[in-house]
Structure 1
Amino acid sequence: MLLGSSSLAIASSRSRIFSAAAAAASRRHSLAPASCSSSSQALQCRDSRMVGSPVLPARRSFCSRRSSASADFAENGRESPDGGIHLILGPMFAGKTTVLLQRIQAEADAGRRVALVKSDKDTRYGLGCIVSHSGKKMHCAAVASLSDFKSHKPELYAQAEIIGIDEAQFFDDLLSFCQSAADWDGKTLIVAGLDGDFLRQRFGSALDLVPLADSVTKLSSRCEICGRAAAFTFRKTDDRRKEVIGGADIYMPVCRKHYVNGQFAMEAARSVVLESHSPQRDPCSSSPERKLAIG
């Protein structure tokens, strides 16, 4: 009898444990989403909640943050403006203006609206046109600064798709104008100018455009002395000012060898000139010491 009572107690205890476990399982099942009818589906639902929650508002990309200048393009169903900067650099007589005019003419022939700008400091061939050393000529706007071109000729600036800039080294606002025109107004700029002066030092801000440029063309000329490729401009006069506008009467293209030799020759010539202008002592006159020695 005692053994039978013990067996009944153990069986009753196991029954309560199984009932508690079943109740716990039932509660867990009731907490799962109704759509997850199986353990595998419940796992999928859990993973989907981890990936998709919380849902954050989509962040706009850099390209979608358009400026007000390019908003008109989007409103009219057109793409955002796609401008560019193309540099043509080199010494004098390298054909920079010729290449500039050829590119502008090609764009005009392709049906694109073009405009040409030059500094009003360059009066060699008149203010109303750009003339290359080879004789090619095109009409242009001559301005003191590029900001003047934009403000004084707003219609021409607004309509132009391609803007050519000649003698770029003379514009103090070259960098700011080109960056704004290309980045925000969708203009394609073709910029021609000197990269160095007669001392082989930077001239203007054309070199500051190199990091912003889509392309850079470095032209060379022919050395006027030996005929080899010439990368430098030699000034034939003794004028040391940075800006001296002139042509073949003042400048000539030279190679490295003849630039260095020419500078030596110019320094020697200056020394001779300075010595010739210094007070000359009479070779027949004697110093007081010499007179005493003679006497």
Structure 2
Amino acid sequence: MTDTGRLTVIAGPMFSGKSEELMRRVRRATIAGIDVLVVSHSLDTRSDISTITSHTGVNIPAVPLGDAASLAEAARQKDYELIAIDEAQFFGPELVPVVEDLLIRGLDVIVEGLCVTFDGQPFEPLPSFMAVAEDVLRLTAVCTVCGKDAVFHQRLEQAENPNRPDAAQTAQPPEATLAATEIDASHIGGLDTYVARCRQHFTGAE
């Protein structure tokens, strides 16, 4: 009987170092001789679509795929030992049964992505994965207002500069934006469109 695989989750808000941690683990696995399939979502076009690139510019090769079904098919093309999934939230809840099948087949899986939307709500499928994973790494960013641990990220007005001292006052309230769970290209961005926020300085906080 084949041993089941191990599920590792790397989760947090934007700018928390999730991609860097995923890449670190992939590099270690590669050095150890483990056959790894690294998957990104084709919606993420911030850099070369065939790489995973962190906000600091570090990158590794990846296979861009458009949905969970394509990921399942790619994982069957070779005898992989580890599947590493970047920006898992873009694959939606449909990713959960695909990962469960990979684990049952004996493959280890690393799932990395946002566990919170830009309006401060749980962002599936990360919460579901976090509930059943053998290993969960929950990262925080740095609030750009006060420097405290940031568990949220927030979308800014297109014309605003997130590095301004009054940036906390210029962030869009959640109801003024596209629904946070509707995945499209507007959810892709960096420091020009999103900022990290602690609970105190998140717009939705009292």
Q: TM-score, normalised by structure 1?
A: 0.59
The aligned amino acid for 2:96 is L
Change beyond 3 A, Cα 1:152–1:87? closer
Deviation at 1:152, TM superposition (A): 4.9
* Larger strand percent: 2
Q: In terms of Rg, which structure is larger?
A: 1
CA–CA separation in structure 2 for the residues paired with 1:235 and 1:101: 26
The aligned amino acid for 2:192 is D
The aligned amino acid for 2:45 is T
Contact 2:37 2:75 in 1 (8 A): no
Deviation at 1:210, TM superposition (A): 2.2
Deviation at 1:264, TM superposition (A): 7.3
1:105 aligns with 2:105: no
Alignment of 1:196-211 (within 5 A): 196-211=116-131
What is the SS of the residue equivalent to 1:87? Answer: strand
Contact 2:75 2:83 in 1 (8 A): no
Change beyond 3 A, Cα 1:163–1:131? same
Choose from 177, 180, 187 the match for 1:240.
Answer: 177
Match of 2:101 in 1: 180
Q: Gaps (5+ residues) in structure 2?
A: 158-171
Match of 1:116 in 2: 38
Alignment of 1:32-181 (within 5 A): 66=1, 80-152=2-74, 154-155=76-77, 158-172=78-92, 173-181=94-102
CA–CA separation in structure 1 for the residues paired with 2:131 and 2:57: 32
CA–CA separation in structure 1 for the residues paired with 2:63 and 2:110: 15
Deviation at 1:104, TM superposition (A): 0.6
Deviation at 1:154, TM superposition (A): 3.3
The aligned amino acid for 1:257 is Q
Deviation at 1:137, TM superposition (A): 0.7
Choose from 186, 198, 202 the match for 1:255.
Answer: 198
Q: Gaps (5+ residues) in structure 1?
A: 1-65, 67-79, 266-295
Contact 1:229 1:255 in 2 (8 A): yes
* Larger helix percent: 1
The aligned amino acid for 2:73 is S
Provide the aligned C-alpha RMSD in A: 1.8
Choose from 230, 242, 267 the match for 2:150.
Answer: 230
CA–CA separation in structure 2 for the residues paired with 1:255 and 1:143: 33
- What is the percentage of aligned positions where both structures have the same residue? 31
CA–CA separation in structure 1 for the residues paired with 2:204 and 2:128: 27
Q: Which has the higher contact order (CA 8 A, sep 6+)?
A: 2
Contact 1:175 1:206 in 2 (8 A): no
CA shift digits 1:41-94 (9 cap, x unpaired): xxxxxxxxxxxxxxxxxxxxxxxxx5xxxxxxxxxxxxx233111001100000
Change beyond 3 A, Cα 1:215–1:153? closer
CA–CA separation in structure 1 for the residues paired with 2:147 and 2:22: 24
1:190 aligns with 2:110: yes
Match of 1:45 in 2: none
CA–CA separation in structure 1 for the residues paired with 2:73 and 2:4: 22
Deviation at 1:150, TM superposition (A): 2.8
Match of 1:215 in 2: 135
CA–CA separation in structure 2 for the residues paired with 1:90 and 1:232: 8
Deviation at 1:106, TM superposition (A): 0.3
What is the SS of the residue equivalent to 1:258? Answer: coil
Deviation at 1:255, TM superposition (A): 0.8
The aligned amino acid for 2:66 is A
Aligned residue pairs, count: 182
Deviation at 1:263, TM superposition (A): 4.2
